[in-house]
Structure 1
Amino acid sequence: MAALRYRCAPDPPTTADRTLLLLHGWGANAADLLPLASVLAPTYQAYAADAPFPHPYVTEGRMWYDLSQHDGASESLLLDDRATDLATSEAMLSQWFEELPIDLSRTILAGFSQGGALTLSLGLQFPFAGLIVFSGYLVRPPHRDRPVHLY
């Protein structure tokens, strides 16, 4: 499996005590979301990943999965096991979380829209310090391995 491309701020990475991971929305890319790090967590080392799939309409845009895979008739955004794009993105993000030189318990995972959906999908399966979701939604029923505290 290929590794995810990503950008970081500051670049090159520092030995910051805390980390912010950013996942962009449908049609955006890592460069679009990375400036948000200076507002959300100015003292954190930030990493923004590029989704693995090219966007069908935006030249520099990326997507985590094909939106046409959801069942529009039922107005549900929940995806089933046929959503191979989603499974690929989840596997690549899981690998990225484990390979980055960071302490997940001192890391916040944040996502916008499709990136927010991935934050909700994967965020509870890893020991992140926190999750931030902007305009996100569930792509499958939530699965969690540890207690959740909502604020």
Structure 2
Amino acid sequence: MAWEQFDNGWRLAPAEAPATSLVVLLHGVGSNAQDLLPLADIWREALPHTAFTSLDGSEPFDGGFGGRQWFSLRDVDVQNRPGRVAAGWPALQTMLDAELAHYGLNHSQLALVGFSQGSMMSLHHVATNPQGAAVVVAFSGRLASPIVTKSATPVTLIHGEDDAVISIEETGRAAHALHDAGFDVEAYALPGVGHTISGEGVELGREALVRALAPLARS
């Protein structure tokens, strides 16, 4: 089964039907859904009953280089970032609901995997949605949203120590805030890694997904 393009991105059906879980990939600013397809191609063998969707950002990138975004970075700062994430969330929530309905699944069978701005959107879901998810994996991101709810969602944070775009300190702050709010959190700082997803990061993400999603295929 190959990737299929649809209005909001790309879908990959499970290797073995029916789908018992869904991984949704959320790219960084200025990129697009195709950027993260290789992750699913790597992880799929370990998750044969998992469907994958990679979504395009809900807005055209306004930085002048094409691509998509989940919210604008123009004049963004620590004060206005939470509001921008929240304003961008309804469009993404609509897409997530549509993908769950497409496969006949619910939030307990949903995994969110984000990179950079996509991580901020994934963590917004954790912080604000009491339905939660089966797991969230956030690469090179930050928690930009106040935590206003609690769910059983486990969160894995993965960040390069040499990230010059979003400081590794942001993952430390997110880990502490989520832990203090009662979430099960694992955080990894990867030496020598910049603002990217390294091979070690791919493996850590795979392990987090398998822990959360493999049992769903056996239930």
What is the TM-score of this pair, normalised by structure 2? 0.56
**Who is 1:66 aligned against?**
72
Q: What displacement does 1:115 show? A: 0.1
List aligned pairs for 1:2-151, cutoff 5 A.
5-10=8-13, 15-42=18-45, 43=48, 44-55=50-61, 56-59=63-66, 61-71=67-77, 76=78, 79-81=81-83, 83=84, 86-100=85-99, 101=101, 102-124=105-127, 125=129, 126-147=131-152, 148-151=183-186
Distance 1:20 1:120 in 2: 15
Q: 2:8, 2:95 within 8 Å by CA — same for their partners in 1?
A: no
Q: What displacement does 1:109 show? A: 0.7
Aligned to 2:145, the other structure's residue is in SS state coil
Extract unaligned runs of 5+ from structure 1: none
Moved over 3 A (4+): none
Distance 1:69 1:104 in 2: 34
Q: What displacement does 1:79 show? A: 1.7
Q: Which has the larger radius of gyration?
A: 2
Aligned to 2:112, the other structure's residue is in SS state strand
Q: What displacement does 1:123 show? A: 2.9
Distance 2:184 2:68 in 1: 32
Distance 2:116 2:79 in 1: 12
Aligned to 1:37, the other structure's residue is in SS state helix
Distance 2:94 2:126 in 1: 13
User: What is the RMSD computed on CA atoms of the aligned residues?
Assistant: 2.3
Distance 2:107 2:12 in 1: 17
Q: 2:113, 2:119 within 8 Å by CA — same for their partners in 1?
A: yes
What percent of counterpart residues are identical?
27
Aligned to 2:81, the other structure's residue is in SS state coil
Q: 2:113, 2:136 within 8 Å by CA — same for their partners in 1?
A: yes
Distance 1:110 1:80 in 2: 20
Are residues 41 and 142 of structure 1, via their aligned partners in 2, closer, same or farther at CA, if it must alter by over 3 Å?
farther
Distance 2:79 2:54 in 1: 24
**Who is 2:206 aligned against?**
none
Are residues 106 and 35 of structure 1, via their aligned partners in 2, closer, same or farther at CA, if it must alter by over 3 Å?
same
Extract unaligned runs of 5+ from structure 2: 1-6, 153-182, 187-219
